[in-house]
Structure 1
Amino acid sequence: MWKRLLVHLTTTFSSERIPAANTVFYSDYPETIGDFHIIDALANITKKTKASQSFDVYRQHPEYAGHNVYVEASGVDGDNYGPPGGWILDKFKFVPLIQHAGNNWPSVKWYIYMEDDAYLFLPSVLDYLSTFDWRRPHYLGSFAAKSDVVFAHGGAGFALSRPAWEKTFGHNPGMSEDYEQYTAEHCCGDQVLGHALNKYGVRFGENDGDDSEKFTWGFNPIVHWRFGFSKWNWCTSLMSWHKVHNRDVARYFAFESGWDFSKPLLHRDFFMGMIAPDLHRRA
């Protein structure tokens, strides 16, 4: 939270980019940073699941916070490694946070999910979503598959339309509790969410959530400096990067702020605007 989120507050979530009322933050520990309130996505997990070994790190949070130990490491007093197990805990957040968002923001058209080590080029994403009828059930993002489930890759970012939420979470208000055991038995929260949506007839893809599983390249599950720029993606729209560092976020925001979004932002434009100048300077 203190290592990854802060840079987003002055870039990704700056007031000129997106209204504060249109954002919500979830973590596994409640905090307040300025005017931003972070919601504990796991607050309503059942006592039985919270008592499991997977939640050891969750139960230890108050103790570490009480001793002014930040669950990070940066070489200064207090910033030491906290309890291990964050990745194990992470998978439990997806279903309850989507359920919570839908219950508390019922009038929106889209729920757009982004992780703290990702960057979404918001104008590109909104332009992409405008090509779909938000009144239809849509589940959109980057293709991923695991455990016989096709789903939207969480790190690349994804979007769920309100009707897709209504058809799934709206139909089953107990979805979060129903999926606690399944989550414990599987590896990844985005896969768990995909399974939950599939069960009620909402599938990943660009054709009203049917079985086509067609998708547009541009939601990227890796960072730009590990991405293979080539002729097949050169002229496709750029929506996101994943596994980014704070420096990347700052540079992406500066690049986005200077781009004229009356024309699409393509992978080609990003390469020529950010990577080519770096290569030139190094040469």
Structure 2
Amino acid sequence: MGHSSRLRRVFFVAVVFTETPVCPKSPLSDDVLVVLRTGATEAREKLPIHFQTVLTCIPDFIIYSDFEEDIAGHRLHDVLSEVGEGLRQSNPDFQLYNQLRAHGRDGLDYETLFGSGAGGATDNPGWKLDKWKFLPMVDRALRHRPGAKWFVFVEGDTYLVWQNLLEWLAKFDPGQPHYLGKHMYIGHVLFGHGGSGFALSNPAVRKVSQRWGEAQAEIEAYTAQEWAGDMVLGKVAKDVGIDMFWAFPHLQGDSPSTMDWNVSKLGREPWCYAPATFHHLNGGEYEALWAFEQRWLLDHRTSWTSPRFRDVIKAVVLPRLRERRDAWDNMATGAEYSTEAFAKLSEEDRRALSPAERQAPGSFEGCRAACESKPGCIQFSFSPGRCTTSTELRLGHAADAPCLEYSNAAAKCLRPAGPRVDSLSSSPEEFIHAGWIMSRVSDYVKLLDGSCVRISEEWVI
């Protein structure tokens, strides 16, 4: 069974893809070019779901890759042909690219096709190529659609909440050089995280494109020394006088199954705001969000209102929480109770452990009792000999799901998922099990809903 098919177990949603989707109506729709960036190692796995869902409502989009090909009747354009020929022949980052040009997909092996993998796997051939796409992509997009007011850039596992994005962009003056992004830093360079999606107004794209045309060799030399193309773009934007707008929480680096719904950044918590993107989605999550959006648009045909994060969690996350889910990792990342964890405690801290905490590693019920004994604990995970409790609410994934790819919030596997569910040598008792204190989940939702009273505007502008 394929990688994406197995992951569809994360969400159990019946979705009917109709020939005529319900699409938001906005005067801005025709003035936005959506640019989807991908690569040969992932395109066949990640793109088809886009063509069945969100892209059916987007009037104009283009796909840039490292390999010219057609997928499901849509053309993928080789954007790396814009990079200097000498560089493509001399820099080892282009080994996969040159191989693709010489042999096509026939030259790809299983390990290369696996994708970028956990933590970004910066030694993966596809990942090495990706950083070279950003500046050529911006330049090509401008040539493709010079009159677009906005250019929105996303990745193959980014979900674009199109109705919300249009309403949000309409609040900015497209005649000014805007760069809207989910803030990240590498060293002193601020940039918009590529997987979270970012938007550039027409004047901003023109400034960046002009800089690329004037200093391509210089920018390529800089790119060769770095590892993240979105960071290179951020530096170039700053060099031409464009400051990035900090777009949190509208642009998200995580998916609905992995994000912390109450995380606070820049003095904002997502709950009361409107999402424009999610990242690191698998096919099942795409279907769930698309079904949610279609229902939302149908239900709000006469009284338009934007869905907020709280509406998403209530529709696609809360119904999947249980007192217990077997073979499930809910990514609990708080206090750990295990022989190894106890050994690291000081004698004083060991004596301070409550009876429930001491017994937590012994059973699922003991782990639950430890969580219930701590007022802020809302969920926990248990595997033989290890209990982890958490004050953060997350759904998580089936225990056989692979590690997340790189993002600022998930640069590594947050915790081991235990034996694979499909491993014939493993018994169910060996799996990781997830639990939620459902009464506290209900209280959590009521508390956060109440906080929206002080949020007069669901948009950060």
TM-score of the pair, normalised by structure 1:
0.86
Aligned residue pair count:
263
**Equivalence for 1:198:** 238
**Equivalence for 2:295:** 258
Code of the aligned partner of 1:168: V
Code of the aligned partner of 2:66: D
Deviation readout 1:51-95 (Å, 9 max, x if unpaired): 211111111114252468686359xxxxxxxx9511111100011
Preserved CA contact (<8 Å) 1:45 1:177? no
Alignment of 1:80-91 (within 5 A): 84-91=124-131
**Equivalence for 1:99:** 139
Q: Secondary structure at the match of 2:159?
A: strand
2:282 to 245, 248, 254: 245
**Equivalence for 1:276:** 318
Matches of 2:157 and 2:295, distance apart in 1: 22
Q: Secondary structure at the match of 2:213?
A: coil
Matches of 2:212 and 2:130, distance apart in 1: 22
Preserved CA contact (<8 Å) 1:219 1:239? yes
Do structure 1's residue 215 and structure 2's residue 247 form an aligned pair? yes
**Equivalence for 1:59:** 98
**Equivalence for 1:28:** 66
Matches of 1:193 and 1:67, distance apart in 2: 31
Code of the aligned partner of 1:27: S
After superposition, the Cα gap between the structure-2 partners of 1:177 and 1:219, relative to the gap in structure 1 and judged at 3 Å, is same
Preserved CA contact (<8 Å) 1:152 1:194? yes
After superposition, the Cα gap between the structure-2 partners of 1:259 and 1:30, relative to the gap in structure 1 and judged at 3 Å, is same
Matches of 1:171 and 1:193, distance apart in 2: 11
Preserved CA contact (<8 Å) 1:95 1:193? yes
Q: Secondary structure at the match of 2:64?
A: strand
Q: Secondary structure at the match of 2:185?
A: strand
After superposition, the Cα gap between the structure-2 partners of 1:172 and 1:187, relative to the gap in structure 1 and judged at 3 Å, is closer
Preserved CA contact (<8 Å) 1:141 1:158? yes
**Equivalence for 2:259:** 227
Matches of 1:251 and 1:178, distance apart in 2: 44
Matches of 2:176 and 2:289, distance apart in 1: 32
Matches of 1:185 and 1:113, distance apart in 2: 23
Preserved CA contact (<8 Å) 1:99 1:176? no
Q: CA deviation at 1:181?
A: 1.1
**Equivalence for 1:4:** 46
List gaps (5 residues or longer) in structure 1: 75-82, 206-213
Q: CA deviation at 1:203?
A: 1.5
Q: CA deviation at 1:10?
A: 1.0
**Equivalence for 1:182:** 222
Matches of 1:177 and 1:12, distance apart in 2: 37
Moved more, 2-11 or 246-255: 246-255
Alignment of 1:52-201 (within 5 A): 52-61=91-100, 62-66=102-106, 72=113, 84-170=124-210, 173-201=213-241
List gaps (5 residues or longer) in structure 2: 1-42, 116-122, 264-268, 326-461
Matches of 1:84 and 1:187, distance apart in 2: 12
After superposition, the Cα gap between the structure-2 partners of 1:186 and 1:167, relative to the gap in structure 1 and judged at 3 Å, is same
Moved more, 60-69 or 257-266: 60-69
**Equivalence for 2:394:** none
Code of the aligned partner of 1:85: P
Deviation readout 1:89-143 (Å, 9 max, x if unpaired): 1100011011110122100000000100111101111111111011111000211
Deviation readout 1:33-59 (Å, 9 max, x if unpaired): 344211101012112211211111111
Q: CA deviation at 1:171?
A: 5.4
After superposition, the Cα gap between the structure-2 partners of 1:44 and 1:172, relative to the gap in structure 1 and judged at 3 Å, is closer
Preserved CA contact (<8 Å) 2:67 2:78? yes
